[in-house]
Amino acid sequence: MNILLINHHAGSLQHGMEYRPYYLARAWVAMGHRVRIVAAARSHVRREDPCLHGRSRLDQHIDGIEYTWLSTPGYVGNGWGRIRNMLTFLYRLHYLATALARSFRPDVVIASSTYPLDIWPAHRIARHAGARLLFELHDLWPLSPIELGGYARWHPFIVALQSAENFACRNSDAIVSMLPNVRAHLEAHGMASHKLHIVPNGTDPDEWRQTPAPLPEALAATLATLRGQGAFVVGFAGAHGLANALDTLLSAASLLRDVPVRIVLVGAGPEKPRLQARALAEHLDNVCFLDAVGKDQIPALLRAFDVAYIGLQRQPLFRFGISPNKLIDYMMAGRPVLQAIEAGNDPVGEARCGLTVAAENPQAVASGIRTLLAMTPAAREEMGSNGTRFVLDNLTYDVLGKRFIEACA
């Protein structure tokens, strides 16, 4: 089967995030399918963008996957520059639709960008090729910019996004969602019930079976010192942004001064300087900030934690469920998880790999840490093992790739 996957932000191990299209495509190639990913050349989520040297298009082969990069302008932030980047990608994709249909001859066309506007060029390609059309739902647009960004429903961009979502619900042969509780929402916008398939985020277990890359010397020394002091390390690894509600974790730290707990925050992000200044001003000596590490160093880092923390702001949008990559990493590392998220699903509870407490509630987070500290090492080890088993049984890209292919049939 020839699979054409359209994802504006798609990356690879070379380019960095977004990784999901790469891992799914690699699993499909291993199953004997031919896969082409079409992506924009400029994306804010990648570590490294492809270099087109002034060309409008670049074709590459990466790990058995065919990539087509379309030239788009760079941008910063979420303003007009980002919209211009989107529109340029969509224009180039629409212009190439007939040529892609004839040259690649897809059996399946997947519209998979974060925003739903790529459903129209994807539909055009599928129609020319006589292919099945799939819509992959990452986030709910336009609901996300409405509820998180404060956009009005009558804003022209929101109207266009809603029109695209409605078109996808009515015209796709199947819809794949990472969010488990979206059925009612999609049916309200025209989706037939039988079209929905749930395929969450996943991981490549081979990356965890390898000897992990060593941590930077200074970071390793800091963690070793904490261990030598008998500290119970509660770690967070990831972006220091508003969405992660890290102020809650700092407030919890202020309630834990009487116990040998050390809060370690590893990563970078726009909120990090402010959080560091707050910890200094409040004399939070039990909080430590460390630099971000590479993707290949994540296993070694997480295994140095006693407990791995994940939190999010309290948002109504999470009623549709969550599927965080960070949580899957925590589970693969075999760490018990403290999850401070209120959502329509509870992946930590489902996997029996830790504790779930109220979001943005420092007292609840502090209480959860005390509960985990009071457990025996064997009990915490069992939680961590539960998480790893759950991922290996349900969330590897070999498993998820097969589930996705079922939706293509």
Average pLDDT rounded to a whole number, residues 25-42: 98
Average pLDDT rounded to a whole number, residues 122-127: 98
| Length of the chain in terms of residues written | 409
Is 396 within 8 Å of 203 (Cβ atoms)?
yes
> Do residues 231 and 263 share a domain?
yes
Q: Would you say residue 78 has pLDDT above 90? A: no
Q: What is the pLDDT of residues 86-98, one digit of tens each?
A: 999 999 999 999 9
Q: What is the pLDDT of residues 46-68, one digit of tens each?
A: 999 999 999 999 999 999 999 99
Mark which of 149, 168, 198 sits at the end of a domain: 198
Rounded CA-CA distance 78/145 in Å is 11
Q: pLDDT-derived band of residue 41, with 50, 70 and 90 as boundaries?
A: very high
Tell me the residue range of the domain where 341 lies: 206-394
Is 404 among the domain residues?
A: no
Domain total in the chain: 2
Whichever domain contains 365, its CATH number is 3.40.50.2000
Is 402 among the domain residues?
A: no
Is 211 among the domain residues?
A: yes
Q: What is the pLDDT of residue 210?
A: 87
Lowest mean pLDDT among 14-18, 234-238, 362-366: 14-18
Average pLDDT rounded to a whole number, residues 350-359: 98
Mark which of 134, 169, 198 sits at the end of a domain: 198
> Do residues 228 and 192 share a domain?
no
Q: What is the pLDDT of residue 79?
A: 84
Average pLDDT, the chain: 96
> Do residues 156 and 182 share a domain?
yes
Q: What is the pLDDT of residues 374-407, one digit of tens each?
A: 999 999 999 999 999 999 999 999 999 999 999 9
Is 178 among the domain residues?
A: yes
Q: Does the predicted model carry a pTM greater than 0.85?
A: yes
> Do residues 187 and 222 share a domain?
no
Q: What is the pLDDT of residues 282-328, one digit of tens each?
A: 999 999 999 999 999 999 999 999 999 999 999 999 999 999 999 99
> Do residues 155 and 302 share a domain?
no
> Do residues 224 and 101 share a domain?
no
> Do residues 119 and 173 share a domain?
yes
Q: What is the pLDDT of residue 409?
A: 82
Q: What is the pLDDT of residue 351?
A: 98
> Do residues 247 and 370 share a domain?
yes
Q: What is the pLDDT of residue 353?
A: 98
Is 401 among the domain residues?
A: no
Residue 294: count other Cβ atoms within 10 Å of its Cβ: 11
Average pLDDT rounded to a whole number, residues 248-274: 97
Residue 360: count other Cβ atoms within 10 Å of its Cβ: 18
> Do residues 194 and 250 share a domain?
no
> Do residues 179 and 216 share a domain?
no
Average pLDDT rounded to a whole number, residues 69-75: 96
Q: Would you say residue 150 has pLDDT above 90? A: no
Is 403 among the domain residues?
A: no
Q: Would you say residue 149 has pLDDT above 90? A: no
Mark which of 198, 230, 256 sits at the end of a domain: 198
Is 408 among the domain residues?
A: no
> Do residues 53 and 113 share a domain?
yes
> Do residues 133 and 245 share a domain?
no
Q: What is the pLDDT of residue 28?
A: 98
Is 336 among the domain residues?
A: yes
